[in-house]
Amino acid sequence: MKKLKSIIVDDEQDSREILRNYTMKYTPVVQVVEECSNIQEAKKAIQKHQPDLVFLDIEMPYGNAFDLLEQLDEIDFQVIFITAFSQYAIQAFNQSAVHYILKPLDIDELIVAVQKAQERIQDEARINHTQILLENIASKKSQKQKIALPLMDGFEVVKLSDVLYCEANDNFTKFHFVNGKKALICRKLKFYEDNLKEYGFCRVHRSHLINLDYVKRYVKGKGGMVVLENEVQIQVSSTRKQAFLAQFK
C-alpha cells in the first residue's frame, strides 16, 4: 500500500499533535513528513517534499489557507481543509467537491476524507477540485461559479450559468442544461437546494429547483406556473409561491 506523503499545516501545536496522532492510529496510509505553523513554512515544505496530501487549517495568523494556495504555481496535491468556518464556506466546499473536516476533529470524518483523497490520487484523470474552490471564492456569489457533479466514472465541472433547472428523481437529481444536455447525479435535490440558493436558484416545487436567470414569465394560479426561456413549464407549489415571487420584488 503506497503511503500518502503528507503535510499538516495548523498554527496550534495541540491541533497538529492531535491530527498527527489520529492519522497514525486510524489512517496508516498517511505518512506525515512535516508539520507547519504558518503559510510561509507550509509553502517551503510543499516545495521541498512535493506531497500527495496537505491537511490545511483555514484560519491562521499572517495569512489563511487560500493565501497559501494562491501563492503556489501548481496545486498537484490533494487538500483536506480543517475548518470551523461558517455555513457559507461549507456550501463553497460542497460545490467544489473538496474535502473538509470540521473542528473539533471527528475520527470518522478523518477516515472518510483520507479515503476520498486516496481515491482521487489513484484516479489519473482527477479534477483539480481545490482550484475550482479558489475560482468560486474569487467570484463570490455570481453565476460564474462552478460546481463539480459526481458521475459514475468521475466528475464533471459545470458553470452555474449553464444550469437551467434541476429535477428530483428519487435519491438522484437530474440536471437540465441550457444547451439541452442532461445529467443524472447521485445526490438528492435538497443538497443542491441548500448549496445553490445563494446563487440565484429557487426551489419552486418539491421536484424542481430552477435558475432564476432563465425565468421568462410567470402564470398566476393557486401556485402558478413558471415558463423558462426554453419554454419549459414548471409548476410552482402553493407553499413555495410567496418565496418564489419575493425573488422578483
CATH of the domain at 238: 2.40.50.1020
Find the domain containing 95 and state its range. 4-136
Q: How many CB atoms lie within 10 A of CB 188?
A: 15
Reported as a single tens digit per residue, the pLDDT across 180-193 is: 999 888 888 998 99
Residue 24 lies in a domain: yes
pLDDT score of 242? 93
Picking from 136, 166, 188, the residue at the C-terminal end of a domain is 136
- In this structure, the answer to whether residues 129 and 170 fall within a common structural domain is no
Residue 210 lies in a domain: yes
- In this structure, the answer to whether residues 122 and 227 fall within a common structural domain is no
- In this structure, the answer to whether residues 43 and 95 fall within a common structural domain is yes
Are 144 and 161 contacting, i.e. CB atoms less than 8 angstroms apart? yes
- In this structure, the answer to whether residues 39 and 114 fall within a common structural domain is yes
- In this structure, the answer to whether residues 117 and 178 fall within a common structural domain is no
- In this structure, the answer to whether residues 23 and 131 fall within a common structural domain is yes
pTM: 0.59
- Strand, coil or helix: 13: helix
Instruction: Tell me the mean pLDDT in the region 42-57.
Output: 94
pLDDT score of 61? 79
Picking from 105, 136, 167, the residue at the C-terminal end of a domain is 136
- In this structure, the answer to whether residues 103 and 33 fall within a common structural domain is yes
pLDDT score of 174? 93
- Angle of helix 87-96 relative to helix 129-139, nearest 10 degrees, comes to 130
Residue 195 lies in a domain: yes
Q: What are the C-alpha distances in Å from 60 to residues 3, 84, 166, 175? A: 28, 12, 38, 38
pLDDT score of 86? 62
Q: Can you give the C-alpha Rg of the chain in angstroms?
A: 21
Question: Which residues are CB-neighbours of 47 under 8 A, at least 6 positions away?
Answer: none
C-alpha cell at 180: 439541452
- Name which of 69-73, 96-100, 159-163, 227-231 the model is least confident about: 96-100
Q: Evaluate if residue 31 carries a pLDDT over 70.
A: yes
> How far, in whole angstroms, is CA 113 from its chain's centroid?
13
Question: Domains in the chain: how many in total?
Answer: 2
- In this structure, the answer to whether residues 123 and 165 fall within a common structural domain is no
- In this structure, the answer to whether residues 109 and 18 fall within a common structural domain is yes
Residue 144 lies in a domain: no
pLDDT band at 199 (very low <50, low <70, confident <90, very high): confident
- Name which of 57-71, 90-104, 181-195 the model is least confident about: 90-104
C-alpha cell at 44: 517551503
Residue 240 lies in a domain: yes
Q: Evaluate if residue 119 carries a pLDDT over 90.
A: no
- Name which of 10-14, 122-126, 194-198, 237-241 the model is least confident about: 122-126
- In this structure, the answer to whether residues 49 and 104 fall within a common structural domain is yes
pLDDT score of 125? 47
- In this structure, the answer to whether residues 8 and 112 fall within a common structural domain is yes
Question: Which residues are CB-neighbours of 21 under 8 A, at least 6 positions away?
Answer: none
- In this structure, the answer to whether residues 201 and 91 fall within a common structural domain is no
Instruction: Tell me the mean pLDDT in the region 192-221.
Output: 93
